[in-house]
Amino acid sequence: MAVQRDVFFLSDGTGITAETLGNALLTQFEGCTFEKTTLPFIHSVERAHSVVEYLRQVEKTSGERPIVFSTTTSNAIRDELRAAPVLFIDLFDSMLPAIEAELGVKSTHAQGRAHSLADGNRYDARMAAVNYAMEHDDGQSVRDLPRADVVLIAPSRCGKTPTSIYLALQYGIFAANFPLTEDDLTELRLPRSIATYSGKLFGLTSAIERLHEVRSERRPGSTYSSVSQCAFELRQAEQLYRRHGIPYVNSEHMSVEEIAATVMQERGLRRTA
């Protein structure tokens, strides 16, 4: 009785929009199993034709129509793809007409723009942010802290690094991150090099068990990963955040995407790219 289905993400670009769209929709069907494949860079009718041939094979073999999420913009390519024996869900087909009507402007049908270099400035800003996050990871450099949009602080392994990287890639935010040392935590003080940036700070905590588990993967049996050490650091970190009026979240049940969106909201940041 379990529902199983082949799913394809088709695109004339990277396929990222089709994947994001399709995956968001499929999360609404718990208990169903989806075998997912992305076919990017479908730039020609010929390529579309061979994709259709392939989808025919898949349908024949599985005995069920695949579900296809498409974001191809060329009418000719889309017409070709429609020949496939699938449930064909196309982003542009279903949503562009309403926007065209609203704006009184015809869409350009330009291919593969969503994740391209179409906007070069925006792109360069994101890459500058990624480089910044790499250079200012884990307190490695304090050279260019005045340039930071936000400085994440937390005990080791609470999610500082991936959150910084994500803020850079997704939002073009310049995010530095800084570890809290045993001394900082014991004395409930901010590391000296970031104390003057308290308006940019954002803290992370986690749950004792979760932190113990994550640290144990790295250094099993160490003091660093012990339950008592994790408990101490998390309790002190939270007190430190409160004492200095630093906004913070418990990252235990949050994804990096959710932490990043929360940081944006709480620190009143706007995407720069």
**Site residues for a copy of itself, window 199-258 (CB under 8 A)?**
253-258
Indicate the residue among 79 and 187 with the shorter CB distance to a copy of itself: 79
Regarding 167 and contact with a copy of itself (CB under 8 A), the answer is no
Q: Which of 50, 57, 62, 107 binds a copy of itself (CB under 8 A)?
A: 107
Q: Which stretch binds a copy of itself (CB under 8 A): 97-105, 146-154, 176-184, 195-203?
A: 97-105
> Which helix (H) or strand (E) segment is 100 a member of?
helix 91-103
Regarding 181 and contact with a copy of itself (CB under 8 A), the answer is no
Regarding 25 and contact with a copy of itself (CB under 8 A), the answer is yes
Regarding 28 and contact with a copy of itself (CB under 8 A), the answer is yes
Q: Amino acid identity of 256?
A: V
CB of 41 to a copy of itself, least distance (A): 7
Residue 6 to residue 3: CA distance in whole angstroms: 10
Q: Which two tokens stand for residue 60?
A: 């024949």
Regarding 161 and contact with a copy of itself (CB under 8 A), the answer is yes
Per the CB < 8 A criterion, the answer to whether 42 and 51 are in contact is yes
Q: Which stretch binds a copy of itself (CB under 8 A): 90-98, 200-208, 228-236, 237-245?
A: 90-98
CB of 11 to a copy of itself, least distance (A): 9
Regarding 183 and contact with a copy of itself (CB under 8 A), the answer is no
Residue 81 to residue 73: CA distance in whole angstroms: 12
Residue 230 to residue 206: CA distance in whole angstroms: 9
Indicate the residue among 65 and 244 with the shorter CB distance to a copy of itself: 65
Pairing of strands 87-90, 67-70: parallel
CB of 243 to a copy of itself, least distance (A): 27
Phi, psi of 189 (to 5 degrees): -120, 155
- List Cα–Cα distances, 95 to 32, 68, 201, 227, 256, in angstroms: 26, 16, 40, 52, 29
Per the CB < 8 A criterion, the answer to whether 107 and 100 are in contact is yes
Closest CA to 92 of 6, 36, 7, 12: 12
CB of 102 to a copy of itself, least distance (A): 5
Regarding 116 and contact with a copy of itself (CB under 8 A), the answer is yes
Among positions 30-69, residues that touch a copy of itself (CB under 8 A) are: 30-32, 36-38, 40-41, 65, 67
